[in-house]
Structure 1
């Protein structure tokens, strides 16, 4: 009950954090949405219909689906497509498909959002300096933004809320000033105008691809649930939606005042600003765009960390630059996003061309969230007719958006789909390889080896390998161990130690679980520690292991003093050495064609990634990485003939 209250609690600080973190993407959409909907001559039907579509999209898609319904599907206060998947994955194996497709599409969107947001803001300068080349400025801003990530965003984050409050207030004031001059624009609230645009206006249905840009940040809103709780999100969304709509209606009012004219490179957003305010407005818009980009970058890091714990992404290094809960930095992802963003800016040059690539990928994510949410609603025993109505309505809405967005494919939509497809490929390979390795890893009962282990520990004819030898094991049962670990201890090179430790990490479906269990396998000689860590908990096994050993010593369950007589008299603690077994694909194997391709792709990608000891947070000075062949089906019939 307390946890539920905490997730729903409302506070001034929480509301400010929500403004700063959650609404960056959706909050900067007025920079480019109306410009995309009205590309040529200003037609009143286009203006009324476009504004009406924006209003009802924000209401049905963002308010009803995400703010009212989806925020209820929290995993111990955490949101996002992988948190939702963790809630329902035990119900059906096929649910990994929408999770992978949705996650990959969301990451692909993270490559397009920073360039389009920053470009749209900076291009406002061309109203003052028409010949200005904005590309170098955009790249410089993005470069600075990505370089700052390694320091964490704790200090900057505190300023985000007040800045976004200023931004939304500016949107509302600018919009209201034009609505007062042309109040007839308020007629656009009638959904008939949206219907007329989509059904009767020539080519109107295809404008849904541009309309969709107003709600692209809704998925990020759900992903950032853990940062400020659903209560703060719901309350702050009322303010944000009002400010956005006032600005959209204001832009509509300006467009009506100029009907019949060509928009020709002018942005209705900047046309709302008086000349004296233009440079100030561009400055505020640029900061808001940077905040929008920051929110998506942070979201991408969280998404990758969750994918790793769910065995859908390579175990890359994760850094935690500050003490803020959930804040992390993924160096490899930061580099990939930076390269991707700069490539997008150089390829498209202008924000209006980026609009073509934007939106297509995120429509897929929203459809996948709808699929997972439908399963979650059934799991919560919501009546079948209600679930069916939800699935039907949102399949129709998002399906229409997807079809309308498909015309963007040849004009740049292929870029986000290509990035998304590559990411789906990596996730599929990683998950499939995980199950193949799991199937082929041979486990043996540990009990029969305990006597031999004790004898090896006390056999002084064998040079001591380490005082404490720690093996990372994937065996889920306490009574089992990989045969490769037994081989490593007894055969590869007999590894004599005072105490053998077997450490297993179990990732839970809850986000912040931190538990451990100790089993004594052989008195004073062998122990197994199982860590139960949530899918958002930092993997610092070195630190956690030390803490567990300290607890065991304090409780007099183990003596870690070195067993060398001279050192024992001085009460010197022995050294700890970790052994991580890394599998490789041996030449002799008989895989089915698909599995062979998957494993080849898996090991090809793996060579570009640091070894697993970095991911587990082990101290490199005390880690031995041993290469072992993947247990595979050997080639059975070898056509060898003996000759004399």
Structure 2
């Protein structure tokens, strides 16, 4: 990710970044010339049809990719980040709402880069519109993830199909088809298995390869145009309009393939900056693509019979040049596939961070580059689906009749969101967003309508996957919101759980109501072995961990007297031990429910008690100085309320380094803390609630089904802390029943 502000970069550095963007951002849109014409014509076209289609391609690329995405949509970035969730966070921030299930915090506005020039607007006033916006964003994300199955398949298959021309006279058609499928699947499986290693080492090769690809497209295009210069008439929009009136919108489904990569360009914006992409596209991408499509149109006019393999037959009949392009096309297709896989990972990661997707394993593959992540479960699920698609559709021509519908819907959603941003965030006169929505919404609507027919030819598969993802994401968000609401309603203040006795505790005495070591140890075992409604909540490792803490610290004493704390319900006094304990909560302003459950069965607490919540804010990254909010809780010695704030793209880290920073923050905020906390001597304990979800007794059948599905997803998802760098030996789970 490029952190530099593009406005402060010199011309040379901006151009260098623009060049680097070629391999990461433009692989998808750059691979399109291999299969666009394959998906348009089903038979040999006449010259007028070719001219009309090429004119449509030229002006679609110009209006949608260049004007809409590069010059307008890219401006709607969230501190340099693009994509549906970035648009959503931008809107949420400017309406004073929370991006997560918890209510917004007023102190979020103090964060650096949390820029808001907020005025009351229709989103803020309507809960219905707020929910509708979230539904639209989740739908768009589901569609984009489902499209991630098709891009790798169609890119790689269209490249491997180039073997047909030099080998068709030597090998039968059936054998060639088998070779194409096997090689395509082999390349894709290798690509997916290689995801665990990341792309940091090979990523530097992507830009030179894609640059050579665009140069080659330009050269081939110029050669073909020189043979049939009359194709240049297609630059006139008259032929595009005439073709639509004469032939209807049926072929627009194939034309859409020209600019489907535009959405990926916006989604990958965070790797660079808007200025570098706005420079790179017109100079290095737009012109070569125009030349490539005009050149292929010229080849079709020259020989209409090549409609099924237009790209490969447009290459000059030189064996060396052909094999060079075949190898180059294969590498470019792999880069395009990699770009879509990375974008899919990033989108799922954002969804997880915003509580819109079940938690799965997250591996950060690079310490230097932010955003380099690997999701094993998503990777192998995607690999299986991609291989199934290759075997099911068998060729890029058949795939092209499926590809595009999901992206057409996503592009329409992007138009809606950007229109709202124009009014709410940019404060433009209402006429401008209406004009933008009408103009580009009309264009998106035409392309969407032209792709509806693809449902019958196989697009139902991607829509089915998108529907399943939408239901999962929607249910997960719904369940998480209800879980937070439950904790908020059930939460109590600290003085309703414990009370402070205003006299000192003798240094070497144990109150008659307090447990000694053996009693405390046995009581702790009841905690980790206990069941609520027959739900087992911990294991022997937790028992051993608690015993270790007690063995080390039960007889250690503070250097001065401390106030005694008593549990109100039982009257039992709580023994204070050296150490730090963090009780995690989904609600930043409440005492975690796990706290009362814990002390009921284990009436001993460390010296420092921290009630902490991880709070995601509506910006990509939070400055370290703004990370922690620490408040001391009343008269309770060593009790603190902490909020750890993270951007929606940040990795949550709660390990040793985080604890060190937290302790420093506590010491700075509490001038009366006379003892310096030695982390090497003080054990740190992390306590999480392990919720088990049940429908309320009076719930309808539909709600019971929804709760049961959410409970199943929660039970089979990763633990919340699994990727937070928390030592597993320092973790305790406290079981709780949650009714939704």
Q: TM-score, normalised by structure 2?
A: 0.79
Match of 2:412 among 364, 367, 371: 367
Distance, in Å, in 2 between the alignment partners of 1:70 and 1:305 is: 22
SS in 2 for 1:584: strand
Aligned to 2:650: 537
Distance, in Å, in 1 between the alignment partners of 2:695 and 2:465 is: 32
Match of 1:163 among 193, 198, 209: 209
Aligned to 2:451: 405
Aligned to 2:595: 486
Residue 630 of structure 1, CA deviation: 0.4
> How do residues 194-213 of structure 1 correspond to structure 2 at under 5 angstroms?
194-201=240-247, 204-213=248-257
Aligned to 2:499: 451
Gap change, CA 1:622 and 1:124, over 3 Å in 2: same
Q: Deviations over 1:437-492 (max 9, x none)?
A: 12222221224445369999995636374433221111222xx213x223322224
SS in 2 for 1:429: helix
Q: Deviations over 1:577-620 (max 9, x none)?
A: 21111211247633244432222111122233222221433221
Q: Deviations over 1:165-190 (max 9, x none)?
A: 00000000001001011110000011
Distance, in Å, in 2 between the alignment partners of 1:210 and 1:4 is: 36
Aligned to 1:178: 224
Gap change, CA 1:572 and 1:157, over 3 Å in 2: closer
> How do residues 52-451 of structure 1 correspond to structure 2 at under 5 angstroms?
52-89=55-92, 90=95, 91=123, 92-93=129-130, 94-130=132-168, 131=171, 132=176, 133-201=179-247, 204-238=248-282, 239-259=284-304, 262-263=305-306, 265-276=308-319, 277-323=321-367, 324-379=369-424, 380-441=426-487, 442-449=490-497, 451=499
Q: Deviations over 1:36-93 (max 9, x none)?
A: 2222113112210110011111111111111011111111111111100111134341
Residue 348 of structure 1, CA deviation: 0.9
Distance, in Å, in 2 between the alignment partners of 1:254 and 1:608 is: 55
Distance, in Å, in 1 between the alignment partners of 2:36 and 2:674 is: 65
Contact 1:48–1:187, Cα closer than 8 Å, also in 2: yes
- Which ranges in structure 2 are unaligned for 5 or more consecutive residues? 96-122, 124-128, 522-545, 550-578
Contact 2:695–2:708, Cα closer than 8 Å, also in 1: no
1:471 aligns with 2:570: no
Distance, in Å, in 1 between the alignment partners of 2:419 and 2:264 is: 19
Distance, in Å, in 2 between the alignment partners of 1:572 and 1:80 is: 43
Range 465-474 or range 52-61, more displaced: 465-474
Gap change, CA 1:210 and 1:167, over 3 Å in 2: same
Distance, in Å, in 1 between the alignment partners of 2:629 and 2:498 is: 20
Distance, in Å, in 2 between the alignment partners of 1:246 and 1:558 is: 74
Distance, in Å, in 2 between the alignment partners of 1:7 and 1:531 is: 32
Gap change, CA 1:246 and 1:170, over 3 Å in 2: same
Contact 1:30–1:269, Cα closer than 8 Å, also in 2: no
Match of 2:659 among 546, 555, 578: 546
Gap change, CA 1:108 and 1:587, over 3 Å in 2: closer
Distance, in Å, in 2 between the alignment partners of 1:437 and 1:453 is: 34
Contact 1:109–1:416, Cα closer than 8 Å, also in 2: yes
> How do residues 7-22 of structure 1 correspond to structure 2 at under 5 angstroms?
11-22=14-25
SS in 2 for 1:501: strand
Gap change, CA 1:54 and 1:502, over 3 Å in 2: same
> How do residues 503-514 of structure 1 correspond to structure 2 at under 5 angstroms?
503-514=612-623
Distance, in Å, in 1 between the alignment partners of 2:350 and 2:583 is: 24
Distance, in Å, in 2 between the alignment partners of 1:453 and 1:591 is: 44
Q: Deviations over 1:177-212 (max 9, x none)?
A: 0101111000001111111211113xx411000000
Gap change, CA 1:307 and 1:560, over 3 Å in 2: farther
Aligned to 1:598: 706
Distance, in Å, in 2 between the alignment partners of 1:588 and 1:20 is: 52
Q: TM-score, normalised by structure 1?
A: 0.91
Distance, in Å, in 2 between the alignment partners of 1:510 and 1:391 is: 26
Contact 2:588–2:612, Cα closer than 8 Å, also in 1: no
Distance, in Å, in 1 between the alignment partners of 2:417 and 2:84 is: 8
Residue 511 of structure 1, CA deviation: 0.3
Distance, in Å, in 2 between the alignment partners of 1:602 and 1:8 is: 51
Range 281-290 or range 320-329, more displaced: 320-329
Range 585-594 or range 371-380, more displaced: 585-594
Distance, in Å, in 2 between the alignment partners of 1:621 and 1:65 is: 52
- Which ranges in structure 1 are unaligned for 5 or more consecutive residues? 563-570, 633-644
SS in 2 for 1:463: helix
Aligned to 2:609: 500
Contact 2:663–2:677, Cα closer than 8 Å, also in 1: no
Range 123-132 or range 517-526, more displaced: 517-526
Contact 1:28–1:288, Cα closer than 8 Å, also in 2: yes
Gap change, CA 1:105 and 1:559, over 3 Å in 2: farther
Q: Deviations over 1:206-227 (max 9, x none)?
A: 1000000000001111111111
Range 612-621 or range 248-257, more displaced: 612-621
Aligned to 1:642: none
Contact 1:7–1:229, Cα closer than 8 Å, also in 2: no
Distance, in Å, in 2 between the alignment partners of 1:587 and 1:389 is: 47
